Structure 1
Amino acid sequence: MPNISVMEAKPGLIINKDVITPLGGTLFEKGKVLLPRDMEILEAFFIDHLEVDGAEEESGAVEASKSADKVGTKPAIGTVTRSQSPLHDEYDKMLALIKRCYSSAAAGGLPILELRSGTEALIAQIKDYHVLNFTPRHIVERDYVYHHAVMSALTSYKIAQWCGYPQRDWLQAAFAGLLHDIGNVKVDPAVLNNPGTLTAAERNEMRRHTTYGYQILRNVTAINEGVRLAALQHHEKVDGSGYPLRLQGSQIHFYAKIVAVADIFHAMTLERIYKKAQSPYLVLEQIQKEGFGKLDPAIVQTFINKTTEFHNGTKVRLNDGGRGEIIFSDRSNPTRPMVNVNGRIINLASSRELYIQEIIH
């Protein structure tokens, strides 16, 4: 278990002890195989010495040099290709199903057993879902409301799981995310699809989707009351400034608090006919600001921490067009990691004019 100078380190050596930065963050984990690019990273973080096991066989070191994502590091998110992902197959099925459900809900009915079965099949593939970089195979902007429903279901499930709620609530939270905007089927389409500034009367009509949704779901048997309340309460705020009932804190069902975070995230990161998608990282920052007094702060913090937890190695494009790779995340600035762009390490926490525009698949 030799302790060597970073100047002596060579690609192929195996780190025997976590490499900790001067600020206390974990730069590399025990067991990682050093790659050629890691030398520069170690120097950038003022790391002087390493504990290593020794050199791998030369063939292993060469192979390690070829791919940072195959050995010794946490896998980059989004490693399952869209053409091969069973998640995308189930997503497409659910998308078609929710389209039919919106039509049937307008006529006064929902195929609840079919919806439950479809949700279970979708969630069975949740291991391949990552909130920040999942992209449907086909996005047609006019189908925004349906994509929003399915993605909110996936994300609500993850949030319920991450927050440590009982397992029996995870699927119900997904169901709540799927159906939270079902009341839109009764909103005047001219108001719903208006890209301009709404009048006071139009805003009131738009806000009625919460009560419309509760009324629709109240008449459907075999639905958890928390799912109904999520439709009614997902625009309530913990400080009492939301709608329709101006509820506060513990008066709001926790499914609604979960769905509120998923709803805002996907509303801002999905492309619409009249609104461009925003950077998921900037959206996380906005949600964090909203978390003070509006959204449940514990849910918000868990959501941000978990979505950015394993993104080292992820390929990204910055807002100035530069393409690079996330190399390190300071947990005090999870949305602003360090990015290696053509050998130049950029700390987005200090270079505030730059941010991650998108994840490159």
Structure 2
Amino acid sequence: MRLISINVLKAGMVVGRTIWNEAGHPLLQKDAVVSERIIDRLRQLNIRYLYIEDKISTGIEVEETVSPAKRIKAVKNITDSFIAVKQVKSGQASYVLDQQSKVIGSIVEDLLNSILDSKEILTVLTDAYLYDEYLYQHSFQVTLYSIAIAKEMGYSYEDLRLIGIGAMLHDVGKLLIPSEILFKPGRLTTEEFEVMKQHTRYGFDLLRNLHSVSLLVAHCAFQHHERIDGSGYPRGIVDFEIHPFAKVIGVADVFDAVTSNRVYREKMLPSQGIAIIEGGSGKIYDARVVEALKRSIVHYPNGCIVVLSDLRRGIVSKQNMDNPARPWVRVFQEDETMLTATYEMSLAEYPDVQVEKVETDYVTYVE
């Protein structure tokens, strides 16, 4: 299967991977033939990319680290827990959150075990799912990224569990932000952003007195927007003052934010998101955390078209476990000429060959 932009999706193409809604129902089934009506509907739903089947990508598979069924169940449980907190008065929110803590802990342990059991680099396909509210999907994905990063950094099982819970609840303070600001479909004004920034303090206050949750989890909510140069919020603290767990969650939070669909901004591909964060390595983000992100997350998902520095064009066919930035590529074009037979190459074996760009809008290939 091959990853393409919705902008070049054509009627007659065959869907390579099912798109699900938050209830676990398929919105568009694998092997469905695309029509103009389907294309219009996908645009309305803000789908930016999807997988199709074609000859050039025959045999290339894309599997998530966490199965669709497990993801859908986890996001539903997160949604139910958060809504339970949101529906009560602010003075009762901590009590309700305490009641929900067992559910949240079991979600985290389930995801943690999935990641620990997996022998593959973490792959998350955000466009394969549709959720009504970004907060719930975001909480799920930041948990996955945080655990993967922390695993790569060598944290113990108990620390991974605490980091997972901290990541799951890092944005819980947003439940106390006015809905007209939290769900605004565009960029916030300066005044609105000042209100939004209060979610870190609200989250800390909700979590710090819970009997069932470690105080470290409260600090994850409080500090995940702090930056090592002191430019973050809410307190503008610097490197040594920021808890290591919060540093991990802060990087995971930004990575998911830039690689997820938003109404006001085109999502980035994983390689682009990693490049953005790498630009702040050692400046605003802990360099050790950034390096762990680079080693633990798929940079170029299977099925994406890449242009190489020697002008060859190919499709990522599988991952290189020892070097996620250098996957295997099925080369199908050299010097703008289609090859009569494709061949596979591992970029790890050709250090002078770089990925120049990812082409999700590649359409010149003719069946």
TM category, shorter: 0.5 to 0.7
Shift of 1:169: 0.1
- SS of match in other structure, 1:290: coil
User: Which residue is equivalent to 1:256?
Assistant: 246
After superposition, the C-alpha distances for 1:221-269 in whole angstroms (9 at most, x for unaligned) are: 2111111101010000001110001111111111110101111111111
The CA distance in 2 between the partners of 1:187 and 1:128, in whole Å, is 37
Relative contact order, higher structure (CA 8 A, sep 6+): 2
Contact 1:175 1:227 in 2 (8 A): yes
Q: 1:93 aligns with which of 64, 67, 73?
A: 73
Matches of 1:195 and 1:338, distance apart in 2: 39
Q: Give the Cα–Cα distance (whole angstroms) in 2 for the partners of residues 129 and 91 of structure 1.
A: 18
Task: Kindly name which structure, 1 or 2, has the bigger radius of gyration based on alpha carbons.
Answer: 1
Question: 2: distance between equivalents of 1:175 and 1:220?
Answer: 13
Change in Cα spacing, 1:201 to 1:86, as seen in structure 2 (3 Å) is closer
Could you tell me whether the CA contact under 8 Å between 2:172 and 2:221 is conserved in 1?
A: yes
Residue type of the alignment partner of 1:92: I
**Alpha-carbon deviation of 1:113?**
1.1
Which residue of 111, 124, 137 maps to 2:113? 124
Unaligned runs of 5+ in 1: 1-66, 70-75
Candidates 220, 237, 249, aligned match of 2:227: 237
**In structure 2, what is the Cα distance between the partners aligned to 1:298 and 1:97?**
32
- Aligned equivalents of 1:129, 1:194: Cα separation in 2: 40
Shift of 1:355: 2.9
Q: 1:136 to 1:279 in 2, by over 3 A?
A: closer
Paired AA for residue 317 in structure 1:
I
Q: CA RMSD in A?
A: 3.6
Aligned-partner Cα distance in 1 for 2:125–2:186: 27
Q: Report matched runs for 1:1-361 at 5 Å.
A: 78-79=62-63, 87-106=67-86, 107=88, 108=93, 109-110=96-97, 111-126=100-115, 127-128=117-118, 133-135=123-125, 139-308=129-298, 314-318=302-306, 324-325=315-316, 335=325, 339-344=329-334, 354-355=357-358
Counterparts of 2:66 and 2:270 in 1: how far apart (Å)? 24
Percent identity between the aligned chains? Answer: 26
The verdict on how the C-alpha distance between 1:131 and 1:226 changes in structure 2, with shifts beyond 3 A counting, is: farther
Query: C-alpha separation between the residues in 1 aligned to 2:306 and 2:133?
Result: 28
Q: Distance in 2 between matches of 1:152 and 1:314?
A: 21
* TM-score, length of structure 2 as denominator length: 0.66
Aligned length: 278
Aligned pair in 2 of structure 1 residues 226, 323: CA closer, same or farther (>3 Å)? Answer: same
User: For residues 341 and 195 of structure 1, do their structure 2 counterparts lie closer, same or farther at Cα, with a shift above 3 Å needed?
Assistant: farther
How far has the Cα of 1:314 moved from its partner? 3.5
What is the letter of the counterpart of residue 300 of structure 1?
A: V
1:342 match: secondary structure: strand
For residues 228 and 126 of structure 2, the distance between their equivalents in structure 1, rounded to whole angstroms, comes to: 32
Whether the aligned pair in 1 keeps the contact of 2:270 and 2:298 (CA below 8 Å) is no
Change (3 A) 1:128 1:273: farther
